[in-house]
Amino acid sequence: MKAVSAKRAALYARFSSDLQKDKSIDRQFADLEKAARRLGFKLDKQHYFADRAQSATTLFERPGLTRDLLGAAARHEFDVVLVEATDRLSRDRADLFWLNKRFKFNEVTLFTPAGEVSDMQLTFDGHSNEDFIRKLAGRVKSGHDELTREGKIAGGKCYGYSAVPGQPGVRVINETEAAIVRRIFTEYASGSTPRQIVKALKSDGIPSPTGAAVWNYQGICGSDGGSTGMGMLHREIYRGKIVRNRIRYVKNPDDGRRLARRADPDDLLMVDAPQLRIISDELWEAAHAVRKARKKKMNPGGCKPAPTLARKQGILAGLIRCATCSGNMVLVSSTRGGRVACSNATHRQSCAHAKSYAIDAITAEVMGKVKEELTNPEFLKRRHRARTLELAKAEREENEERVQAQRDLDRLKLQISRLVDALGDGDLPAAEIKAKMKAKEAERVAIEERLRLLGKGSNVTSLPDATMAAFGKSVETLIDLLGRNPDDPACRAAFANLVDCVVVHPTPKKQPYDLALYARVSAIGNLKLFPEARSHEKMLADEGFAYFATGNAVTSN
C-alpha cells in the first residue's frame, strides 16, 4: 500500500471487560504504532487515548473517547484517528455514524491498519458490529439457559446459598442464612410487616445480605410485577424452583443507563431443583396469601394504576440533609406540597430522626435565609474568611464532587450533541427539541461553573466591597426570578451551585423547624450565578450545522 503523506495521527484503544487487563491497551497501541509507521503518520504520546473496561454498545461513561479524543479533534490537534477496528469506537451503528460525522466536521479522517475507512466500509461495519453483539447475546443466553436446565445457577450469589469452589453454577444451602429466610417468611405469614421484620433482625444483630447492620425493608417484598426490585418473598428458588428469563435489560439511548423490563412470557424457563428448597410450599402459599390480602386492601377495586409522569423535582432536590446521621432527606408524601424525612430513619430504621417536614415550609425558610444572609456583605466576608476551616475534609469532598460533576458534564454534552442532530435532521418537532436543548444548555453552563469553582485554590483572599455588593445583588435577582418561575432551568442550576446543603435538625412535633443553610464557600464572590449560555444557533454551529435565516439547519460539510 502506498504510504500516505505525513499526517498527525491520534491512536484510540479500548477493551470492554473487567476480566481483561491493561495489557490489552498496550498491545493495541503497539500494533497501531507499527501501522502508523507503515502508513507514514506522525505520532505524539499526548494523542494516545483509551477507555478501559467500557462497553462499545454506548458512548456514555467513555471519557477517553467523548471528552478527550473528540475534544482534541475539535481543537484540530491531529488529522487522523487510527483504531484497531471500527468496533473499538462503537458497536452501535447510529453511534458509529455519529462519531464519523464529528470527525469529518473537524477534518479528521478515520483509519484502521488496513487503510482509510470509506463510507461503504463504515456502513458494512456498522451492521456487522451490531450483528456481533446480537449473536454474542444469543450465545450467552443459550449457555445460561443450558446451565439452568441442568439445575445450576447462571448468575450471582443469592442469599441463603453458597457457591461451590471449582464447580461453576453449583449452589448449596447455607444453613445459617437459610434459617433467616425461613424466619422472614414465617413472620410475614404470621402478619408482621416488612418494617417490623427488619427492625427485629437489626435488634438481634443479624447482618443484611450485603453485610450491612441494617436491612432494607423494601428487599422483603420487592415488586409484584416481576420487572424490577424482586424481593425475597418472590424468589422461587426458596421453594426449589430455578427461574430464568423473567426480565430482560435494555439501555436507554438518551443516557446510557441499563433498565429492566419484563421479558416475553414464552421465554420463561422454570426448572425444579429440590436440592435447593429452603421453605415448604405451605409456607410459601401462606406468605403470598398475606401479600395478596394486603394488596387487595390497598386497592379494593383492583384498578390498574394510571400511567405516571416523571416526578418533577423541587428546587431543594438532593440538597436536604439529616442533622442526626448526615443522610439524605427523601420524599415520603406527595400530598399538600409533599413532605420529606430522613432516608435512614424511613427505610432502614438506623436513625432516630423519624419526623417528617413540609417541603413548602423548608423552601420558604431557605429562600428567606438565602436572601437575608447571602446579600449581606459583612456576612459574606465572614464566610469567605472561614474557607480555611476543615480544609482537608473540604478538599476531599470537593474531589469526589469534581469527579461526579465531570461525569455529568460529559453526559450532558453528548445529550446536547444528539439533540442538535435531531434538530438538524428535522424529523422531530423543532419547538420540543429547542426546549430540551435550552434546559440541557442551562445545566451544562452551571456544571462548568461548578467545576471552575471546585478547581479554585483554597487560599483566603480579601474581596472588595463592590464585589460583595454585586454578588449580593445577583442573589436578590435569583430569589426574585425563582419566586416568579421556580421551574426555570437556569435559575434552578444557579441555586444548586450557590447552596451546598440544607441541614434539618430534629424538633418536637408542631414546633418551628430548625434549619442550617450551608452555602458553597468557594462560590462567595466568585460564582457567576448566570453564566452565558449558547443560543440554539450557536449550539448548531458548534456541532457542525449552519443555521440559515429561514430556520432550516443543514450540515456544513
Task: Please state, in angstroms and rounded to a whole number, the distance separating the CA atoms of residues 192 and 365.
Answer: 40
Kindly indicate whether the domain formed by 161-298 is annotated with CATH number 3.40.50.960. no
Pairing status of strand 80-83 against strand 109-112 = parallel
Locate 58 and state its grid cell. 454506548
User: If you average pLDDT over residues 275-283, what whole number do you get?
Assistant: 95
Residue owning grid cell 448548531:
540
Contact call for residues 402 and 553 (beta carbons, < 8 A):
no
Q: What is the pLDDT of residues 160-188, one digit of tens each?
A: 999 999 998 999 999 999 999 999 999 99
495: left (phi over 0), alpha (psi -120 to 50) or beta: alpha
Q: What is the pLDDT of residues 308-320, one digit of tens each?
A: 444 556 778 888 8
Contact call for residues 463 and 381 (beta carbons, < 8 A):
yes
Residues of the chain with CATH 3.90.1750.20: 161-298
Q: What is the DSSP string of 23-71?
A: HHHHHHHHHHHHHHHHHT-EEEEEEEEEESS--TT-STT-HIIIIIIHH
Query: 249: which DSSP letter?
Result: E
Query: 171: which DSSP letter?
Result: E
- From residue 368, alpha-carbon distances to 153, 364, 375, 382, 519 in Å are 57, 6, 11, 19, 14
Contact call for residues 76 and 102 (beta carbons, < 8 A):
no
What pairs with residue 172 in β-bridges?
A: 162
Model pTM score: 0.64
Residue owning grid cell 454585586:
470
Residue 393 has pLDDT above 70, yes or no: no
Q: How many residues does the chain have?
A: 557
Task: Please state, in angstroms and rounded to a whole number, the distance separating the CA atoms of residues 380 and 374.
Answer: 6
Work out the pLDDT band at 17, boundaries 50, 70, 90: low
Residue 25 has pLDDT above 50, yes or no: yes
Residue type, 132: F
Task: Please state, in angstroms and rounded to a whole number, the distance separating the CA atoms of residues 477 and 260.
Answer: 43
Contact call for residues 365 and 505 (beta carbons, < 8 A):
no
Residue 394 has pLDDT above 80, yes or no: no
Residues of the chain with CATH 3.40.50.1390: 8-134
| Rg over CA atoms, the chain | 28
* Three-state helix/strand/coil letters over 345-410: HHHHCCCCCCCCEEHHHHHHHHHHHHHHHCCCHHHHHHHHHHHHCCHHHHHHHHHHHHHHHHHHHH
Kindly indicate whether the domain formed by 8-134 is annotated with CATH number 3.40.50.1390. yes
Q: What is the pLDDT of residues 502-528, one digit of tens each?
A: 889 999 888 889 888 776 655 555 556
SS3 label, residue 552: coil
Residue 229 has pLDDT above 60, yes or no: no
Estimate the crossing angle of helix 194-203 against helix 175-189, to 10 degrees: 140
- φ and ψ at residue 533, rounded to 5 degrees: -100, 155
Query: 446: which DSSP letter?
Result: H
Contact call for residues 5 and 58 (beta carbons, < 8 A):
no
